[in-house]
Amino acid sequence: MKPKAGGDGKYPVDRTSAVSGEKLMRTIMADNKLELYGTYGKVMNCGGGGSCGTCIVEVVEGKELLNERTNTEVKYLKKKPESWRLACQTIVGNKENSGKVVIQRLPQWKK
Ligand code: FES
């Protein structure tokens, strides 16, 4: 199911915080009950193994606070925009930095 805009035409924004360098983006979202997957991905995701591609997010802000693309991502996201990441491969922070990361879930659904 496609994300739905609210009555004002804007999409809802969820916020949470995490300790730098401690967790994968996928884990942070799951721990905080933030939706990551679309309908198919909810049921059919690979559990964070980097093989299904259902956890793609677009990094809108804070790219410098994330780890480099892993080899799995380099392979999987070869033809995708630079700003796209697999949430299950993305470590948020490196213990020495802090700041804000903004992502858009399901960027492949954007028109
Ligand atoms: S959960 Fe399958 S690639 Fe990330």
Of the pLDDT bands very low, low, confident and very high (cuts 50, 70, 90), residue 110 is confident
- CA 99 remoteness from chain centre: 16
What's the pLDDT score for residue 109? 85
Whether 10 is in a domain gets the answer: no
Q: For residue range 50-85, what is the model confidence (pLDDT) as tens digits?
A: 999 999 999 999 999 999 999 999 999 999 999 999
Whether 71 is in a domain gets the answer: yes
Count the domains in the chain: 1
What's the pLDDT score for residue 4? 75
72 close to ligand 1 (CB < 6 Angstrom): no
Whether 91 is in a domain gets the answer: yes
Whether 19 is in a domain gets the answer: no
Contact 97, 67 (CB under 8 A): no
Output the six-digit token pair for 34: 């933030």
Taking the centre of ligand 1 as the mean of its atom positions, its distance from the CA of residue 8, in whole angstroms, is 32
The domain of 87 spans 25-109
Q: 63: domain CATH number?
A: 3.10.20.30
What's the pLDDT score for residue 58? 97
Q: For residue range 86-107, what is the model confidence (pLDDT) as tens digits?
A: 999 999 999 999 999 999 999 9
Whether 4 is in a domain gets the answer: no
What's the pLDDT score for residue 10? 86
Q: For residue range 2-40, what is the model confidence (pLDDT) as tens digits?
A: 667 888 988 889 999 999 999 999 999 999 999 999 999
Whether 70 is in a domain gets the answer: yes
- The amino acid occupying position 73 is E
Whether 17 is in a domain gets the answer: no
50 close to ligand 1 (CB < 6 Angstrom): yes
Whether 37 is in a domain gets the answer: yes
Taking the centre of ligand 1 as the mean of its atom positions, its distance from the CA of residue 55, in whole angstroms, is 5
What's the pLDDT score for residue 18? 96
